[in-house]
Structure 1
Amino acid sequence: MPEPGPSPLQSGLPSAAAHLGAHGLPNVLSAGRAPGHAPVAGAAAAGAVVAAPAAEAPVAARPALPTAPVLPFGTAPAPGAVPAPAEDAAAVGQADPAALQRILRGPGGLGTAALHLAPPAQPAAPAAPAAGRPVPGLYHHPVPEPDPVRVEEVSRRIKRWAVDEVQAYPPEWEDQFDGFSVGRYMVACHPDAPTIDHLMIATRLMVAENVVDDVYCEDHGGSPVGLGGRLLLAHTALDPLHTTREYVPAWEESLLSDAPRRTYRSAMEYFVRAATPSQADRFRHDMARLHMGYLAEAAWAETEYVPEVAEYLAMRQFNNFRPCPTITDTVGGYELPPELHAQPAMQRVIALAGNAATIANDLYSYTKELASPGRHLNLPVVIAEREGLSDKDAYLKAVEVHNDLMHAFEEEAARLAAACPVPTVLRFLRGVAVWVDGNHYWHMSNTYRYRLPDFW
């Protein structure tokens, strides 16, 4: 294992990784599994990176990692198909820290075609300029256009689910649903998804989260008044109510009473079929964080309070994209073991990734929110108000905040990869980074929703 060097990780992750290496890591590796599968003896962490197809666009060479197949639901590997745990861990441990950093972030950036970690159903589309333009000065990594075959199929399936299964929106909202381009969004964010079924896990949850946000909080009748009660009841569609037999029927009926609860209930049912119990519990925790962030923003709206910049950033760490990249292993068909996910260093990486992605949303949605009724808090607005800057200077400072968060995310991810080069850790870190890049791509290219301010 590479020496991590002087960093905060010395007091946390290396000792924990060493403890796992002596006591728990062999079990983690030998019990590697894809969600929904029984443990497979001898499997080297089912999340080990799969070699990219040779036909994909070239990027800077990266050190080879041990390979293990990513399996469709319900499929067990053939005997001998997966490398032995000791060989797998040793091969990764021989990589030097600089190489591990390149694994995470090469000169071309994550999200490029060669970082499809499992072969897509169809050949990946060649890289091409995306519609729209990035925020000038924004630190980001370009990604190739998502595979159009996958985009078309995911878009078809998600609309059928939204219309026929859960009645997520009335007919007059159809243009907005189509303009959201959720299929393109999720294919860009999850290039390692083994199948369309895996992609649909993330796509349903993304739609459900946006239905809750629109209907309860914002665009389509949302209000801060009474939001806590609505969110609490909706959360029981994700985290089931355990009560007396007399009151179960009323609760079950309530889950079908409005579009947010219907979409949450259905999306979660699909998710738990594919996820391990620990992945499902992790997601519920992240959604509770999200709902707490909604409530903080709603409280400020009710009292017409403009938070300090630090307060706003604290709120945005919770009212945040975090639930989306943290399911990257479920969507990829493997599991980051809970012992590794819970490490403080991993939690910091995940938080920084979510924060950077969320501030990117603030920047791209800035003009959309200014044109909406009422006052919408976003980072440029808060900086302008609290630090006495012009709208332009506040926006440009918000770009700097985003860039600082992105650099911190990449630095911490590289340190973690060097300190704990377990295949599932490396793949998960890469998956989170690819998600961040795909999220930026969608914001930049979605000209139906977003226009940049005229500051340049």
Structure 2
Amino acid sequence: MPDPGLIPQSGLPSAAAHFGAYVLANAQAHATADLDAMPAMPAMPAMPDLPDLPGVPAVPGIAAGAVVPADVPVPVRAPAGGADSFGDPGVLDRILRGPSGLGTAGLYLTEDREAEPVAESAPSPTVPGNPVPGLYHHPVAEPDPARVEEVSRRIKAWALEEVELYPEEWEEQFDGFSVGRYMVACHPDAPTVEHLMLATRLMVAENAVDDCYCEDHGGSPIGLGGRLLLAHTALDPLHTTEEYQPHWAESLHSDAPRRAYRSAMEYFVRQSSPSQADRFRHDMARLHLGYLAEAAWAETDHVPEVWEYLAMRQFNNFRPCPTITDTVGGYELPADLHALPAMQRVIALAANATTIVNDLYSYTKELASPGRHLNLPVVIADREGISDRDAYLKAVEVHNDLMHGFETEAAALALACPVPSVLRFLRGVAAWVDGNHYWHQTNTYRYSLPDFW
């Protein structure tokens, strides 16, 4: 990965001015989502609207994804949980008010733009597969077939030609994963196919690490920490001495997971802001910590308490995927707003709910695999001494509680902080949640439901 450029050494005033101009230029570029500099992409049909999220309003007179001009008053109301939901009660007000004082007037971005119209499409009445009975979810429209085909073509070319991800005998499994359909369903507001590819490469790379280091294709809990650490340096590059740098750089090509991580991250940092890239690295570190906890339990044959399992699943979960919804959408949720405790809670609840969806749909697949796989129904049955069926049905209830919590907290945050980028991000996360369920339900190549009804 290229090393970041250094700011030339100079006096403090000129250095500060240089840095301010740099930040402003980048903020302007990301806020206006200027796609003119990107390579031309084949024309695609209009995108469907983002789904409605209960309680998340639109902002009258401001296009989705636009920057709020400095002279537009933004109402601020306390969330349902009170000021403590944002930590310091003055933090949200300060963020929305923006910078003040001598020389800060030029930091406000006042340019607005009209959002391109998107086509409205009703959810398809019938889709492949059956949803888990009693599972709270929202049906979605069938993903655009032209985009699915193009993303599927590009991701397979990337996997085979750029990173040599898998041998020929794994091709059927790669195709059966249907990652193109998955990502198009999860990111309906992606402005181009290349934006969709940012998420698609990362998804495939994450699954390669999981399969080859942890699971089906040679994975093992033994020595996992060392493998994950070295793979993580493909996302978060090593800064070391001139003597040892080449050895590290060479190691990034030594196995398929590291090749995939390195390449996917290089594409991502070209399109994302430094803040978005660092946010993703943080969430991948969370993911790897969850992998290690699960591996430690496997080595000691330990079945955790239900709450312990849910704690592990808050880290070993889908969180890196919805957290990049703004990058894939071609805009940026500012770092201060992303870091709000209320926003972090919304993202965590969404990621936790989507991960339990995976536990439920992959239940029979994991039972048929060698060894013992921990998932929520298995842990509930073991720890609470109930039947497999009752444990599965209770896991459905846990998912539904998490989903209702996600929607309640998202609605409270939308009312408290109705900034266009916040509202669009919340709707984007909701779209990811719905698309993730759609993929699990319809991927009959991978999943089938237990006979509990």
TM-score by length of 2: 0.79
Structure-1 separation of matches of 2:211 and 2:450: 23
CA-to-aligned-CA distance 1:106-140 (integer Å, 9 cap, x gap): xxxxxxxxxxx8656xx677632210010000000
Alignment of 1:181-200 (within 5 A): 181-200=178-197
2:404 to 394, 397, 407: 407
Which residue of structure 2 aligns with residue 39 of structure 1? 27
Contact kept in structure 1, 2:163 and 2:259, CA below 8 Å: yes
Alignment of 1:33-432 (within 5 A): 38-40=26-28, 46=32, 63=58, 65-68=60-63, 85-86=69-70, 89-90=72-73, 93=75, 127-128=123-124, 129-432=126-429
CA-to-aligned-CA distance 1:274-315 (integer Å, 9 cap, x gap): 000000000000000000000000000000000000000000
Structure-2 separation of matches of 1:95 and 1:196: 38
Specify whether residues 133 and 84 from structure 1 end up closer, same or farther in structure 2 by C-alpha distance, changes over 3 A only. Answer: closer
SS of 1:286's equivalent? Answer: helix
Q: Which has the higher contact order (CA 8 A, sep 6+)?
A: 2
Specify whether residues 395 and 182 from structure 1 end up closer, same or farther in structure 2 by C-alpha distance, changes over 3 A only. Answer: same
TM-score by length of 1: 0.79
Q: Which amino acid aligns with 2:312?
A: M
Contact kept in structure 2, 1:125 and 1:146, CA below 8 Å: no
Specify whether residues 224 and 68 from structure 1 end up closer, same or farther in structure 2 by C-alpha distance, changes over 3 A only. Answer: same
Contact kept in structure 1, 2:326 and 2:425, CA below 8 Å: yes
Answer yes or no: is 1:445 the counterpart of 2:429.
no
Structure-2 separation of matches of 1:119 and 1:204: 27
Contact kept in structure 1, 2:360 and 2:392, CA below 8 Å: yes
Contact kept in structure 1, 2:49 and 2:189, CA below 8 Å: no
CA-to-aligned-CA distance 1:357-401 (integer Å, 9 cap, x gap): 000100000000000000000000000000001000000000000
Query: RMSD of the TM alignment (CA)?
Result: 2.9
Cα shift at 1:176? 0.4
Contact kept in structure 1, 2:224 and 2:292, CA below 8 Å: yes
Contact kept in structure 2, 1:46 and 1:69, CA below 8 Å: no
Specify whether residues 322 and 221 from structure 1 end up closer, same or farther in structure 2 by C-alpha distance, changes over 3 A only. Answer: same
Q: Which amino acid aligns with 2:320?
A: P
Contact kept in structure 2, 1:32 and 1:46, CA below 8 Å: no
Contact kept in structure 2, 1:46 and 1:68, CA below 8 Å: no
Provide the aligned length of Structure 1 versus Structure 2. 385
SS of 1:424's equivalent? Answer: helix
Contact kept in structure 1, 2:68 and 2:420, CA below 8 Å: no
Consecutive unaligned residues of structure 1, counting only runs of 5 or more, are 1-30, 71-81, 99-116
Contact kept in structure 2, 1:352 and 1:405, CA below 8 Å: yes
Contact kept in structure 1, 2:77 and 2:416, CA below 8 Å: no
Q: Which amino acid aligns with 2:257?
A: P
Q: Which amino acid aligns with 2:69?
A: P
Q: Which amino acid aligns with 1:265?
A: R
Q: Which amino acid aligns with 2:353?
A: A
Cα shift at 1:38? 3.0
Specify whether residues 159 and 119 from structure 1 end up closer, same or farther in structure 2 by C-alpha distance, changes over 3 A only. Answer: farther
Structure-2 separation of matches of 1:394 and 1:54: 40
Contact kept in structure 2, 1:353 and 1:432, CA below 8 Å: yes
Structure-1 separation of matches of 2:64 and 2:383: 52
Structure-2 separation of matches of 1:359 and 1:289: 17
SS of 1:347's equivalent? Answer: helix
- The share of aligned pairs that are identical, in percent, is 75
Contact kept in structure 1, 2:283 and 2:320, CA below 8 Å: yes
Q: Which amino acid aligns with 1:206?
A: M
Q: Which amino acid aligns with 1:127?
A: P
Specify whether residues 96 and 142 from structure 1 end up closer, same or farther in structure 2 by C-alpha distance, changes over 3 A only. Answer: farther
Contact kept in structure 2, 1:118 and 1:192, CA below 8 Å: no
Structure-2 separation of matches of 1:54 and 1:152: 15
Specify whether residues 295 and 54 from structure 1 end up closer, same or farther in structure 2 by C-alpha distance, changes over 3 A only. Answer: closer
SS of 1:408's equivalent? Answer: helix
Q: Which amino acid aligns with 2:123?
A: A
SS of 1:233's equivalent? Answer: helix
Specify whether residues 304 and 264 from structure 1 end up closer, same or farther in structure 2 by C-alpha distance, changes over 3 A only. Answer: same
Structure-2 separation of matches of 1:307 and 1:54: 43
Cα shift at 1:264? 0.1
